[in-house]
Amino acid sequence: MRDELIDIFKAGLARAEPAAAVSAALSDVSRPNAILALGKAALAMTEPARDAFPDVPCLAVTNAENARDLAGVHVMIGGHPVPDDGSLAAGEAMLTAAAQARRRILALISGGGSALAVAPVAAVTLADKAEVSRLLLGAGLDIGAMNLVRQNLSRLKGGGLARAAGPGGIEALILSDVVGDDPAAIASGPTVPPLGPPAAAKDLLVRHGLWDRMPESCRMALSRPPPPTTPEGRLRLIGSNRLSVLAMAAAAPDATVASDPLEGDVADAAARVATAARAGPGTTLWGGETTVILRGDGRGGRNQELALRVACALRDIGRPWTFLSGGTDGRDGPTDAAGAVVDDGTLDRIAAAGHDVAAGLARNDSYPMLAAAGDLLITGGTGTNVADLQILRMG
């Protein structure tokens, strides 16, 4: 069952292959003055666009793992998941290129762009931005909430790239890494209006008890008036979590596609998977993106922790089962695993290796336990990102 589930997962990955998705969309794209790509899939998206418009300047910003030399393309590397000096340089370069092109920009947007390119508003430093990212990630906020805050601390996010380009200046091809495919949440929406004004970001932080922990410069920035109106552009979704789930369903025609994505805290998501497991034999498919509240200093990621919690929830179900949870970018948290494939023998293998599952989960230390069980899902960097995919097979 493990190999079958991995093959189904790979079908979902194939539907999110960036170069093929961009190539299919280019027949309806006019010659741009500049090609600007941002995200983990930036280079894979840029290559067919560069081939279609070989004399057009290209700037691509991506993470170190997906970076490579690409003829005719200025490649820049930013930090992920926490922005670094490379992110700062990339953000300024993106804004400068948009201002110089002045309209007719082809923007290629994929997941990960929120950290890869940053351009903080006045008085907010890169260290401040990094601290904000740390606080938001540690609080278990969903991607929409995190992006609302990020947008209002940035000159690039929340439509900043479109404002730099001017009216009618942006045509964007988007590979969505967020559930629901809201373009304002993908890479923090550099080509579309923000999710909300600074006051909304402040209210969110207050509700979650984070306001007083934010750097002073960020509290000042979130107390300012909203930015100017964002010019409208043309946006097209060329890949998404939902489309990848449907591709998995085509590869497993007898499977059931869950009506709702797996979102929210990993413990709640594991309980939903366990409910599906009790319905009887068969295969169930999900997409989505869960969250983890960090309570310890262990090593792991949301997919690994979800898989381990599912193993605990199905401990006594009395039938054979296998569950896969993987990130489509190939990286689950700060690890080399995409996620995990667990089954009815996982907990026994972990115990035999001398690990205490309950203690490990309490400190968010799923990776070493899954490694000991031989249950890590290792794909390497995929060059794409459309959130997470999950598969349950009940015998």
Below-70 pLDDT ranges, the chain: none
State the alpha helices, DSSP H only, in the chain.
2-15, 18-25, 42-52, 85-101, 113-116, 126-138, 143-151, 160-165, 198-207, 216-221, 241-251, 266-277, 302-313, 346-352, 357-362, 366-373
- The helix (H) or strand (E) run that includes residue 339 is strand 339-343
Angstrom distance (rounded) from CA 22 to CA 42: 11
> Across the strands, what pairs with 260?
none
Residue type, 31: R
- What domains can you pick out in the chain, each with its CATH number? 17-239 (3.40.50.10180), 242-394 (3.40.1480.10)
Residue pointed to by tokens 């923007």: 107
Quick check: 107 and 75 in contact, CB under 8 A? no
- Confidence at residue 245, expressed as pLDDT on a 0 to 100 scale: 97
Is the bond preceding residue 190 a cis peptide, omega within 30 degrees? no
Residue type, 305: E
- Confidence at residue 31, expressed as pLDDT on a 0 to 100 scale: 94
- Confidence at residue 249, expressed as pLDDT on a 0 to 100 scale: 98
- Confidence at residue 83, expressed as pLDDT on a 0 to 100 scale: 87
Q: Which two tokens stand for residue 287?
A: 């997409």
What pTM does this model have? 0.82
SS3 174: strand
Angstrom distance (rounded) from CA 225 to CA 223: 7
Q: What is the DSSP track for 120-133?
A: BPTT--HHHHHHHH
- Confidence at residue 313, expressed as pLDDT on a 0 to 100 scale: 98
Quick check: 307 and 324 in contact, CB under 8 A? yes
Residue pointed to by tokens 């060059």: 383
End-to-end CA distance of the chain: 9
Quick check: 346 and 26 in contact, CB under 8 A? no
- Confidence at residue 290, expressed as pLDDT on a 0 to 100 scale: 95
Angstrom distance (rounded) from CA 132 to CA 211: 10
- Confidence at residue 134, expressed as pLDDT on a 0 to 100 scale: 85
- Confidence at residue 52, expressed as pLDDT on a 0 to 100 scale: 97
